[in-house]
Structure 1
Amino acid sequence: MKPLWRLNKYLYKYKGLLLLGIFFTVISNIFVIIPAQLVRIAIDYVVESFTLYKPLIKGGLGELARENFLDYVLVFGVLILVMALLRGFFLFLIRQTIIIMSRRVEYDMKNEIFSHYQNLPLSFYRKNSTGDLMARISEDVSRVRMYLGPAIMYGLGLLTLFPMVISYMISVNAELTLYSLLPLPVLSISIYFVNNLINERSEKIQRSLSGLSTYVQEAFSGIRVLKAFVREEDSARVFAEESEEYKSKSIDLTRVNALFFPLIMALVGISTIITVYVGGMQVIKGEIGYGVIAEFILYVNILTWPVTSLGWVTSIIQRAAASQVRINEFLDAKNDIISKENLKDEIEGDILVENLTFIYPDSGIKALDHISFEIKAGQTLGIIGTTGSGKSTVANLLMRMYDPSSGQILIDGKEIQRFDVAELRRQIGYVPQDVFLFSDTIANNIAFGLDHPDRALIEQAAKDADVYQNIIDFPKGFETMLGERGITLSGGQKQRVSIARAIAKEPKILILDDCLSAVDTKTENAILSALKHIMKDRTSVIISHRVSSAKLADHIIVLDDGKIIERGNHESLMSQKGVYAELYDKQTQASEPIDG
């Protein structure tokens, strides 16, 4: 139960609903007990009436006695019906309080977890899969809700009904109470073990279904590759094998489920037989009336569900505790990217990097090794290097997605750690290498970084990114809905929309992280030409493995294995005849047409 203590703050928050639920549970259980007492009184009345009925017939009063007898029976029937209706009404109120409380807690928990996810650093997402993150905010929260809703509701029912019924049964006949309740502990223990079996097999089914769904999703997503390599039959065979495994596990669960109700009915039947036998012996001895037997049989049936639910509730609590442990692991994860002073100054764009070293905390890879450079406000820096040289790491550190292992980054002469993180990022336009577009309109994707979207600004950003004509050629123009991850657009169009999104923010610092890799040379030149006036008077960082993208920069550094091996402008680097010049020559030759 210890992991679930964390939920007490929610129970306190909705204590009004919880207390009302407890009150309604007690009232509801009173209307469960009263009908059993009415049945006892009614049966004893009927038995006594029949005893007196024959002498009254002989005395000529039979018809009058019969009418009175029927009137009393009708009264008892109406009272029992009223009790049942009242109990149903209070059961409705219980669900309107406790179950609604659990739904509100579920809502609060999901919002808390999602908000916490948003605040966690990039390193957290490198260590955890998207599927795991989604499972904790959906499946695990749902299991915890089952504890806060049904488990508490049935648990309260058990805790209030059991003492009320047992104490009353003992007050009527202690010996008969003992005998009639003998099978109930066995029932609870049996249900507990059966429930564990059901849960265990249900988990296996869920895992099997998850695997089956993942396979189907991949098959449909990669249908072009499947058809191109003529692997349809293999795909169908694997699907059949996965389906067979799912079917087998489902049948195993069905076999266990088949034990559930027969087990309950058998033990309830045994309890009823014991009650009738022991009660019958006491009736023969004249110790109790016939009505007591009927009353105790009703009590046994009343207690059957709470006792049965004990095993089920225990199982729910176990699963909820396991899920809460998983949720707590993520909620306890701390964001180490925090501001020292929460400065919210407007930045000019001076960047100074001194002796910067960075080692990725999850992999231990040294991405940068004592690098230093400076960019004056309004200047452009080009960072050139091959794959794995540390180019994108520089972008992540400038965006403060990570903090450096050693060294420092100064913006406008102030340590980057002094700035408010959100305010710093708000003034930086970032175009990532791996473009991500949302399943929304093109206009909303471009306006993603704007608090107050302006159509003229959106269209101008599209023109600057050389994607305006492509957009207006679509039937719905800027209102065109993009598919998942922007699948509606080509690779080059996606990158240009991503550039437009960064430009629309009108940032003080613009970082282009190898964002022109999916466009051809002609489009690249068009975008760079458009970006010339955009980058004017704005600090810009162009990261690329293509020299053509960086040659316009005021200053260029060449990275290799996390170290700066060359620096200068395009002309000075070409005159050095080093790595930069070699890359330029290779890429220039590769772009020239081959005769033949």
Structure 2
Amino acid sequence: MRALSATNKYLFRYKWHFLGGVLFVALSTLLAIFPAQIVRYAFDLVGEGIDLYHLYAGTRAQSQVYELFGRNVLLYGILILLMALLRGIFLFFMRQTLIVMSRHVENDQKNEIYQHYQSLPLSFYRRHSTGDLMSRISEDVGRVRMYIGPALMYFMQLVILFVLIVPLMFMVNVKLTLYTLLPLPILSVSIFYVNNLIEKKSDEIQRSLAGMTTFVQEAFSGIRVIKSFVREEDSRQQFAVASEEYKQKSLSLNFVNSLFFPLILFLIGLSTIITVWIGGQEVIRGTITTGSIAEFLIYVNLLTWPVTALGWTSSLVQRAEASQARINEFMHQQTDIVSRRNLELELKGDIVFDHVSFTYPDTGIQALRDVSFRIRHGQTLAVIGNTGSGKSTVAALLSRLYDVTEGSIRVDDEDVRDLSLKTLRGQIGYVPQDVFLFSDSIRNNINFGLDQPDEARMQQAAKDANVYENILRFPEGFDTKLGERGITLSGGQKQRVSIARALVKEPKILILDDALSAVDTNTENAILNAFQRIMHNRTSLIISHRVSSVKLADEILVLDDGQIVQHGTHEVLMQDQNGLYRALYERQLQSEEA
């Protein structure tokens, strides 16, 4: 229960739901007990009424006995029906308080986890898979809800029933009470183990289903690869194997489920038989009446479900504890990307990297070594180098997706660690190397960074990214819905929509991280020509492995293994016959000619 103590704050938050639920549980339980006592009186009345009826046979009093007997039985019947109606009302309100409370808690917990996820740094997402994150915000939260809702509700019901019913049973007959309650602990323990077995097999089915779903998702996402390599039959066979495994696990669960209700009915029936057998002997001895047997049978039926639920709720609590522990593990992780002074100011874009070194915290790979450079307001700096030279790391550090290991990065003479994250990132237009588009319309993808979408700005951004004409050729234009990760578009179109998404913000600092790698030379030249106007009076950082993309920059940095090996304009760098920049230029020129 230590892990589940993290949920206590929700119980305090919804204390009126909880207290109301306790009240309605108590009232509904009382209204279940009273009819049992009325039934006992009714049974005894029937026995006494029959004896009196025969005793006054042939007299005028016989009809009066019959009339009195009828009125009392009718009264008892009306009372039982009235109590049943009231109990139904209280049971309705019981669920409307406790179960509704659990849904509120589920909603709050999901929102808190999602908000916390968004605050965590990129290193967290590099360590954990998407499936694991999804599992904790969906399945784990769902299991915790079952503890806060049904488990607490049925446990309270069981406690109140035992506190009220067992003393009443002992008051009537101790021996009959002990024999009647004997099968119930066996029932509870049996349900606990059977339910654990059911849950275990359900988990296996869920894992099998998740694996099959992932396989299908990958197959459909990569359908072009499957078709081009003619692997349809192989893919079908792999799916058939996964589907067969899922079927076998489902059949195994169905077998265990088939044992569940017969086991309950057997133990309930055993308790009923014991009650009638031992109760009959006590009636013969004259220690109790037949009405007491009827009362005990009602008590047994009242206790059966809560006792059965005890095994079920115990399993729910176990699973909720494990799930909450997994949730706590993530919730206790805090981001180290926090603002020291939380400065909010209008940026101009004067950027300084001062002896910056950086090592990725999750892999231990040193990406940058003592890197220093400056980009003045309105200038364009290009960073070029081979794969793995640390180019993208420069963009990630400037956007403060990571913090530097050594040195500092300053914007307008302020350390980025002192700036508000919203201020810094809100004034940076970032086109990442790995283009990601949402499964939404093109319009909403381009306007993603704007609080108030502007149609004119959106269309101008699309024109500047040289994707406007392509979008208009779609039947629905800007309202065209994109598939998962933008699969509707070609690679070049996705990159250009991503560029338009950065440009529509009209950022003070523009970062293009290999943003033109998927476009042809003509499109690249058209975008670069548009960029000459866009980059005017705006600080820009162009990261690329293609020399053709960086020729328009005011200065060019050449990185190799995380270090600056060359620094200057295109003309100056080309004069160095043995330099890396010239080697890259000649290699790419030969590749284009070939």
Task: For residues 352-384 of structure 1, give each alpha carbon's deviation from its aligned partner in whole angstroms, at most 9, with x where no partner exists.
Answer: 111111111101111111111111111111100
| Equivalent residue, structure 1, for 2:590 | 589
Equivalent residue number for residue 195 of structure 1: 195
Which residue matches 2:581?
580
Report the equivalent of 1:534.
534
- Give the superposition deviation at 1:216: 2.0
Matches within 5 A, 1:410-559: 410-559=410-559
Amino acid at match of 1:311: G
For residues 174-220 of structure 1, what are the alpha-carbon distances to aligned partners after superposition, in whole Å with 9 as ceiling and x for unaligned? 22211211111111111111111111111111111111222222222
Q: Please name the residue that 2:245 is paired with.
A: 245
Q: Is the 8 A contact 2:435 2:498 kept in 1?
A: yes
In the other structure, the counterpart of 2:292 is 292
Counterparts of 2:259 and 2:449, CA distance in 1: 58
Structure 2: distance between partners of 1:242 and 1:488: 29
- What amino acid maps onto 1:444 in structure 2? N
Residue of structure 1 equivalent to 2:340: 340
Distance 2:370 2:138 in 1: 43
- State the 1:61 CA deviation: 4.1
Question: Quick one: distance in 1 between partners of 2:212 and 2:188?
Answer: 35
Is 2:49–2:66's contact at 8 Å kept on the other side of the alignment?
no
Q: Which amino acid aligns with 1:291?
A: G
Once the two structures are superposed, the pairs formed by residues 360-375 of structure 1 within 5 Å of their partners are 360-375=360-375
Residue of structure 2 equivalent to 1:235: 235
Give the equivalent residue in structure 2 for 1:17.
17
CA distance in 1, matches of 2:237, 2:590: 48
* Deviation of 1:294 (Å): 1.0
SS in structure 2 of the partner of residue 76 of structure 1 = helix
Map 1:555-570 → 2, pairs under 5 A: 555-570=555-570
Matched, 1:353 2:382: no
Give the superposition deviation at 1:123.
0.9
Distance of 2:413 and 2:224 partners within structure 1: 53
Query: 1:570 is aligned with what amino acid?
Result: H
> Aligned pair 1:377/2:408, yes or no?
no
The match for 2:122 is 122
The residue type paired with residue 566 of structure 1 is: Q
**Which residue is 1:407 aligned to?**
407
Q: CA deviation at 1:60?
A: 4.8
Aligned position for 2:305: 305
Cα-to-partner distance string for 1:393-420 (whole Å, 9 max, x where unaligned) = 0000000000111111111112111111
- For the 8 Å contact 2:172–2:288, the answer to whether it is kept is no
CA apart distance, 1:563: 1.0
Q: 1:462-502 CA distances to partner (integer Å, 9 max, x unpaired)? A: 11111111122222222222222112221111111111111
Q: Which moved more, 1:231-240 or 1:274-283?
A: 231-240
What does the per-residue CA deviation read over 1:14-37, in whole Å, with 9 as the maximum and x for residues that have no partner? Answer: 000100000011000011001111
- Which secondary structure does the structure 2 equivalent of 1:507 belong to? coil
Aligned to 1:585, what secondary structure does the other structure show? helix
Deviation at 1:225, TM superposition (A): 2.7
| 1:297-324 Cα shifts (integer Å, max 9, x gaps) | 1111110111110010010011111110
Q: What amino acid is aligned across from residue 8 of structure 1 in structure 2? A: N
Report the secondary structure of 1:556's partner residue. Answer: strand
State yes or no: 1:133 paired with 2:133. yes
Aligned to 2:265: 265
| Partner secondary structure for residue 292 of structure 1 | helix
Unmatched 5+ stretches in structure 2: none
Residues of 2 paired with 1:234 and 1:476: CA distance?
A: 37
Q: Report sequence identity in percent.
A: 61
Q: Tell me the distance in 1 between the aligned counterparts of 2:554 and 2:309.
A: 74
Deviation at 1:590, TM superposition (A): 2.0
The alignment partner of 2:448 has SS state of coil
Give the deviation of 1:447 after TM superposition.
Answer: 1.4
Q: Name the SS of the counterpart of 1:541 in structure 2.
A: strand
Q: Which digits, 9 at most, give the CA deviation of each residue in 1:324-356, with x for residues without a partner?
A: 011111111101001111111111111111111
Aligned partner letter, 1:131: G
How does 1:150-169 map onto structure 2 within 5 Å? 150-169=150-169
2:178 aligns with 178
Amino acid in the other structure paired with 2:327: I
Listed one character per residue, the Cα deviations across residues 40-64 of structure 1 (whole Å, up to 9, x for unaligned) are 1111011111111212223354444
Distance in 1 (CA, whole Å) between partners of 2:487 and 2:205 is 33
Q: What amino acid does structure 2 have at the position aligned with 1:370?
A: D
Structure 1 unaligned spans of 5+: none
- Between the aligned partners of 1:229 and 1:458, the Cα distance in structure 2 is 40
Equivalent-residue separation in structure 2 for 1:107 and 1:223 (angstroms): 36
What is residue 387 of structure 2 aligned with on the other side?
A: 387
Amino acid at match of 1:214: T
Indicate the residue corresponding to 2:43 in structure 1: 43
* One-letter amino acid of the counterpart of residue 215, structure 2: Y
Q: Secondary structure at the match of 1:506?
A: coil
The equivalences for 1:207-226 within 5 A come to: 207-226=207-226
1:513-561, CA deviations, whole angstroms, 9 ceiling, x for partnerless residues? 0010000011001000000011111111000000011111111111111
For 1:319, the equivalent position in structure 2 comes to 319
Deviations 1:95-127 (A, max 9, x none): 110011011111111111111111111111111
TM-score normalised by length of structure 1: 0.97
Distance 1:198 1:297 in 2: 30
In 1, distance between residues paired with 2:50 and 2:15?
A: 53
Would you say the 8 A contact 2:52–2:65 is kept in 1? no
Which residue in the other structure is 1:148 paired with? 148
- Conservation of the 8 A alpha-carbon contact between 2:380 and 2:553: yes
Distance 2:480 2:211 in 1: 34
C-alpha deviations, 1:120-163, integer Å up to 9, x for none? 11111111111111111111111111111111111111111111
Residue matched to 1:112: 112
Equivalence for 2:72: 72
Q: In 1, distance between residues paired with 2:517 and 2:151?
A: 55
- Give every structure 1 segment of 4 or more consecutive aligned residues whose post-TM-superposition deviation is greater than 6 Å: none
